[in-house]
């Protein structure tokens, strides 16, 4: 089983930005934890991050017929990107949307996701653990 994790804009700044919202973990430590869990589950995982919408769309398109599942934290693109939403819909790969913070308890504009309607689920509010929860949930879903 092969999983792709995609992180959107500004997530490369984790660990140094708004720690009260996003926590102290940086993206590298989150990815290291995902790789550890992937080894435990005997699956492979690729982790990518981009601040550029088109690059994220390209990665999703290139995943077709190569990737079994996607975990995506679209970050700010959650609330703006029909292009990322359409790419996920087009490849028909089970996808889980992840957020570190509870977006539903934050500003009103963060409560709307263009992405979630084409995902099998959404996990938010558990900090860095949101990624591990998404990975374990996705593997359970794909194993059925």
Q: Catalytic residue, from 22, 52, 77, 79: name it.
A: 22
Cα-Cα-Cα-Cα dihedral sign, residues 16, 5, 41, 141: positive
Nearest C-alpha neighbor of 97 from the set 127, 123, 117: 123
The reply to whether 22 belongs to the active site is yes
Q: Alpha-carbon distance 14 to 81, whole Å?
A: 21
Q: Alpha-carbon distance 52 to 67, whole Å?
A: 21
What are the two backbone dihedrals, phi and then psi, of residue 44, each rounded to the nearest 5 degrees? -110, 150
Q: Catalytic residue, from 52, 79, 99, 112: name it.
A: 99
CB atoms within 10 A of CB 107: 8
Q: Alpha-carbon distance 30 to 99, whole Å?
A: 12
Which positions are catalytic?
22, 99
């Amino acid at each position: 089983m092969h999983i792709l994790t995609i992180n959107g804009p500004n997530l490369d700044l984790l660990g140094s930005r708004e720690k009260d919202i996003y926590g102290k973990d940086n993206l590298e430590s989150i990815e290291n934890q995902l790789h550890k869990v992937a080894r435990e589950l005997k699956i492979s995982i690729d982790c990518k991050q981009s601040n550029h919408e088109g690059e994220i769309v390209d990665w999703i398109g290139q995943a077709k017929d190569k990737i079994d599942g996607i975990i995506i934290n679209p970050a700010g693109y959650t609330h703006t990107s029909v292009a990322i939403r359409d790419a996920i819909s087009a490849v028909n790969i089970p996808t889980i949307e992840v957020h570190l913070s509870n977006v539903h308890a934050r500003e009103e504009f963060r409560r709307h996701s263009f992405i979630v309607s084409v995902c099998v689920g959404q996990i938010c509010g558990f900090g860095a653990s949101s990624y591990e929860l998404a990975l374990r949930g996705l593997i359970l879903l794909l194993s059925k």
